[in-house]
C-alpha cells in the first residue's frame, strides 16, 4: 500500500538524510538553476512542501510541491519527484496528492517534467498543456 505523508518543517531534519538522495536525483536535472541546498532553503522558508512516499511502510521516494496562486486558479505545482521503483507508487501518489490538493482548496495540479514521465502522467489524468522552450544566452 502506498502512502504519502507531509513532512512538516519542524520535522525535516529527522527525514532529510532519507529523502535528500531521492530529491537530489531529481534536482540534479535542474542543477543550472538550483541544487539540493536551495531545495532545503525553500522548504525551510515554507515556499515549498515536502512529502515522503512509502510503500508497505518502506520509504521509497519523496516529492516537493509549491503553491501557485493565479487570479483565476489556485494550483499546486509538483516540483521534484524522486525515488526508487516509481512504477509501484506513482499512480497512488498522484491520487493521494490530488485528494490533498482538493481538500486544501486547489483547483489543479501542475508539473513540469522530463519526457520520461509523459506516459505515467498521461495515465494519471494529466493533460499536456504546454511545452517549454529555453534558449541559453
pLDDT in tens, 14-63: 999 999 999 998 898 888 899 999 999 999 999 999 999 999 999 999 99
What predicted TM-score, i.e. pTM, was given to this entire model?
0.87
Cell numbers describing residue 131: 511545452
- pLDDT for residue 25: 87
Instruction: Tell me how many helices (H) and strands (E) the chain has.
Output: 4, 5
Largest CA distance in the chain: 47
DSSP helix/strand/coil, 54: strand
pLDDT in tens, 74-107: 999 999 999 999 999 999 999 999 999 999 999 9
| CA dist., res. 105 & res. 2, Å (int) | 23
| CA dist., res. 93 & res. 22, Å (int) | 15
Closest alpha carbon to 100 in 20, 3, 35, 29:
3
Amino acid at each position: 500500500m502506498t502512502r504519502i505523508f507531509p513532512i512538516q518543517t519542524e520535522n525535516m531534519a529527522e527525514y532529510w538524510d532519507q529523502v535528500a538522495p531521492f530529491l537530489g536525483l531529481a534536482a540534479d536535472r535542474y542543477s543550472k538553476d538550483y541544487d539540493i541546498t536551495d531545495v532545503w532553503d525553500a522548504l525551510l522558508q515554507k515556499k515549498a512542501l515536502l512529502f515522503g512516499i512509502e510503500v508497505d511502510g518502506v520509504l521509497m521516494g519523496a516529492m516537493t510541491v509549491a503553491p501557485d496562486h493565479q487570479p483565476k486558479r489556485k494550483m499546486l505545482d509538483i516540483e521534484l519527484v524522486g525515488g526508487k521503483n516509481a512504477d509501484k507508487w506513482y499512480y497512488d501518489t498522484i491520487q493521494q496528492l490530488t485528494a490533498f490538493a482538493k481538500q486544501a482548496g486547489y483547483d489543479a495540479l501542475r508539473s513540469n517534467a522530463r519526457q520520461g514521465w509523459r506516459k505515467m502522467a498521461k495515465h494519471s489524468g494529466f493533460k499536456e498543456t504546454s511545452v517549454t522552450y529555453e534558449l541559453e544566452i
